[in-house]
Amino acid sequence: MPRWVRFLRRTPCLVLLLAQLAGVLLYPFMETTPSGRAAFSLFGLFVLALTVLVLRVTPFLTWVALTVALPAAVLLVWTVFDPAPTLYAWSAGFEMLLYAYAAASLLAYMLADDRVTTDELFAIPAVFTLVAWAFAYLYVVVQALDPGGFNPDGQGTRSWMELLFLSFTTLSSTGLSDITPLSGHARSVVMLEQVAGVFYIAMVVTRLVSLRSARTGPERPERGVR
């Protein structure tokens, strides 16, 4: 077995992270045509499968993720043949629950012990992207319930890429991009993501980096001891 294959098998969080980043790069080429959107839906099924597989390394129950992933997968396939906005909103709701559950599972995986492995380091950005995708799907649901939440004229809808961009910029505290939440419901969800981003940086990343430094750093001799 090639060395890089063994490495990827030992680091499932890296595989999930690469798949999600690939989706970010691929979707702009697919969002303009019905066939492209159908292909991206099938790619979403692949990411869902990877998410469920990654949960096997966490202390959370995989069958819970499967319970949520199954209706999400069925609805994704359905939207390939019938791209109705209602079906897309329901699919987004189930995917939001799955990605939120996966993020919580990987958080428990990272914080389960005081030993930081290579896969747990890759879990840091993987959790970040899971949370960003979860909130992006939540924005899809909010937009379906409140069409004027993110669109000034209340007509039409923001694309998936626009809402994902809003999610990444909000979670990373780099601003609201060029999309402004207009309704109270949209603003409340954006504020929740801002709080989630601040807490994630302050609590999780700082803890794991400090543990890694303590593990690899040189031991200093105590002063006054000969």
- Whole-number Å distance between alpha carbons of 22 and 53: 18
Residues shown for the chain = 226
Mean pLDDT for 89-100 is 87
What is residue 83's predicted lDDT score, i.e. its pLDDT? 73
Say yes or no to pLDDT of 35 above 90: no
Residue 22 — very low, low, confident or very high, per pLDDT cuts 50/70/90? Answer: confident
- Whole-number Å distance between alpha carbons of 96 and 102: 10
What is residue 191's predicted lDDT score, i.e. its pLDDT? 92
- pLDDT tens by residue, 159-204: 888 888 899 999 887 766 678 888 888 899 999 999 998 888 887 7
Residue 13 — very low, low, confident or very high, per pLDDT cuts 50/70/90? Answer: confident
Mean pLDDT for 16-22 is 86
Q: Which residue has the tokens 């879990």?
A: 123
Helices and strands, counts by H and E, the chain: 9, 0
Burial class (CB in 10 A: 0-12, 13-18, 19+), 157: middle
| More confident of the two residues 64 and 182 | 182
Say yes or no to pLDDT of 4 above 70: no
- pLDDT tens by residue, 44-56: 777 877 777 777 7
Is residue 113 classed as helix, strand or coil in its secondary structure? Answer: coil
- pLDDT tens by residue, 111-156: 776 777 777 778 888 889 989 999 999 999 998 888 888 877 656 6
Residue 55's contacts (CB-CB under 8 Å, 6 or more residues apart) are 62, 65, 101, 102, 105
Say yes or no to pLDDT of 218 above 60: no
Half-sphere exposure of 14 (CA within 13 A, CB side): 14
φ, ψ dihedrals at 176, nearest 5°: -105, 15
Per-residue burial over 12-51, b if 16 or more Cβ lie within 10 Å, else e, is bbbbbbebbeebeeebeebeeeeeebbbbbebbeebbebb
| More confident of the two residues 8 and 150 | 150
Per-residue burial over 88-97, b if 16 or more Cβ lie within 10 Å, else e, is bbbbbbbbbb
Q: What is the mean pLDDT of the chain?
A: 78
